[in-house]
Amino acid sequence: MVLRNAVHNDLYADSVALMRVAARLAGAPGLDAVSLVMATPANREVLADAGLLGEEGRSAAPNDLIVAVRGTPDAVEHALAEAVTALRDTGGPADGPQESAPPPRSLAGAPADADLALISTPGAYAAAEARKALRRGLHAFVFSDHVPLDDEVELKQEAARHGLLVMGPDCGTAVIGGVPLGFANAVRHGTIGLTGASGTGLQQVSTLLHAMGAGVSHIIGTGSRDVSEAVGGLTTRAALDALAADPATDSVVLVSKPPAPRVAEQLLARVGDLGKPAVVCFLGWDPAGVPVPPGVTLAPTLYEAARAAAEQALGHPVPAEPVPSLPAPPPARRLLRALYTGGTFAHEADLLLGPALGPLDRSAGRPGAPPALPPRHLVLDLGDDAFTAGRPHPMIDPAVRAAWLRAALADPAAAVIVLDLVIGHGAAPDPAAAVAEILADAGPDRPAVLCFVVGTDEDPQRAGDQRRVLREAGAEVVGSSTQAALACARLLGGVQAAGLPAPRPATIGGPA
């Protein structure tokens, strides 16, 4: 072990630079201690206290630099040489890429002209983020679910006070001025404004409008609970107000599962005041005794909602698509296995099939357990919380439905399997391929597979391509959720094509 001091006359370096060099050198093997200091009296004293002041250093002047090194002779020699090199190494930007400005860590750091917060944090934080957005004057699209109902009500009341909208919580879709949020399809720009508490319902209606040649101005999702008694349709009303005031919107479609009765009546009345023709589809709502305002058409199904709205917008009749007939299954195959990813489709199927088939099984097995098919007709919403806990939504990850599809294909009692394929922004990149792969593995003796694709050819997955892949895999493909349910009703319940419920235009007569 030797101690050496090297003195560099009139070499000034900042103390921090010196400490950095010392820290770099000190890591070498064989070194016990390294110190680089300007030789001020105070620093020489520090060196002396540390036992690092050698003879050379003792006589150094305050403007000199002392390099003090203790260690094995070789290591000390090396370190003294290195120290000079290290001090002359000025570093500089060439050492690495310049760091770019980091994104802000909270809403507070967002640009002042931001006006909509798209929130998909874990549900426990979503209400807080939405509240912060509202307080900063931003509208909120809250994709997150598991937000307490009280929070939803408070948020929507606060939003109403500030002239803001809270879409959600649990809002799946919106298209604002052509900008898609959450799950959304690339639909033609047009004059029909959509709103409602059903994400997949809005997607179905908007893509059907696209297919019928009509176009959409905006789609405003409200979140699944908006039309409940507790929330009272706060966002739906705000959305209707916004669409009424919007010069780009000529007519309005309101879609949801049945609202609470009081809310349904209020919303219906509000739709009648819009000053614009409107179609209302409260799936399964019984309007008995409620007057339907003039200019409002009540549509019983998603397909009819789209058709009525397209006729309003296009100004000419849109012929109803015939309900396809499926070949009769063998006698042992008599049961329905409808495996939906969209909750609204399950609800619509329940509504349309119930009268023909009697009560339907809406849940099967236990969450997380292997698929178990009941000896009854089955209509499942695989997007339900019970199936998605800890897993992605089946619209994002087709694997969630794969096990059920395999089980249904192997089920000797199954007559027909119904599958929805929702495409568009946010959805799985190729859901048809996932279905085709499983169908390829099934033997020739399998139930019929009836599919509908919710999307457009403008979507990244291209609806036409998806339908072709499904047909090539041996599936039947129909145009909508409504058609699929009605085809099943006819196949299994003997219901004729005329079973398609008719729309109820107010002009023809709402209930007296």
**Does 463 engage in binding with another protein (CB under 8 A)?**
no
Binding segment for another protein among 175-183, 353-361, 366-374, 467-475 (CB under 8 A)?
175-183
- The region of 76-84, 107-115, 323-331, 414-422 touching another protein under the rule CB under 8 A is 107-115
Angle at 323 between CA 321 and CA 327, to 5 degrees: 145
Choose between 50 and 332: whose C-beta lies nearer to another protein. 50
Q: Which is nearer to another protein, 70 or 467 (CB)?
A: 70
Sequence-separated (6 or more) residues with CB below 8 Å from residue 495: 355, 356, 486, 489
| Least Cβ distance, residue 115 to another protein (angstroms) | 5
Instruction: Please work out the total of residues on this chain that contact another protein, with binding judged by CB under 8 A.
Output: 89
Among 2, 3, 28, 33, binds another protein (CB under 8 A): 33
Examine residue 42 and tell whether it contacts another protein (CB under 8 A). Answer: yes
Please report whether residue 453 would count as binding another protein according to CB under 8 A.
no
175 versus 310: smaller Cβ distance to another protein = 175
Residue 108 sits in the site that holds another protein (CB under 8 A): yes
Query: Residue 94, interface with another protein (CB under 8 A)?
Result: no
Q: Does residue 242 interact with another protein by CB under 8 A?
A: yes
Strands 189-196, 251-256: pairing kind? parallel
Strand-pair partners of 70: 3, 33
Report the distance separating Cα 111 and Cα 103, nearest Å: 11
109 near another protein (CB under 8 A): yes
Hey, what are 90's tokens? 């000025």
3 state DSSP class of 260: coil
The answer to whether 19 contacts another protein (rule: CB under 8 A) is yes
Beta carbon nearer to another protein, 38 or 453: 38
User: Which residues in 408-437 contact another protein (CB under 8 A)?
Assistant: 425-426
Find out whether 32 and 1 touch, Cβ atoms under 8 Å.
yes
Give the CA distances from residue 321 to residues 301, 346, 388, 483, in Å, rounded to whole numbers and listed in that order.
Answer: 13, 21, 34, 8
362-401 footprint of another protein as x/- string (CB under 8 A): ----------------------------------------
Q: Does 114 bind another protein (CB under 8 A)?
A: yes
Strand ranges (E), 138-291: 139-142, 166-167, 173-176, 179-182, 189-196, 216-221, 251-256, 278-282
Residues between 254 and 313 that touch another protein (CB under 8 A): none
> E strand or H helix at 482, and its extent?
helix 481-493
- The residue to which tokens 């007057």 are assigned: 291
Token pair for residue 202?
């809005």
**Beta strands 31-38; 65-71: pairing state:** antiparallel
Per DSSP, the three-state class of 408 is: helix
Does the footprint of another protein cover residue 41 (CB under 8 A)? yes
Q: Which of 56, 77, 82, 115 binds another protein (CB under 8 A)?
A: 115
Report the C-alpha dihedral over residues 85, 86, 91, 97, rounded to 10 degrees.
110
Minimum CB separation from another protein for residue 5, in Å? 12
Segment 119 to 138, residues that bind another protein, using CB under 8 A: 119-122, 124-125, 127-129, 131-138
- From 65, 71, 98, select the one nearest 83 (Cα to Cα): 65
Minimum distance from residue 254 beta carbon to another protein (Å): 16
Interaction pattern, residues 197-226, with another protein; x per rule: CB under 8 A: --------------------xx-x------
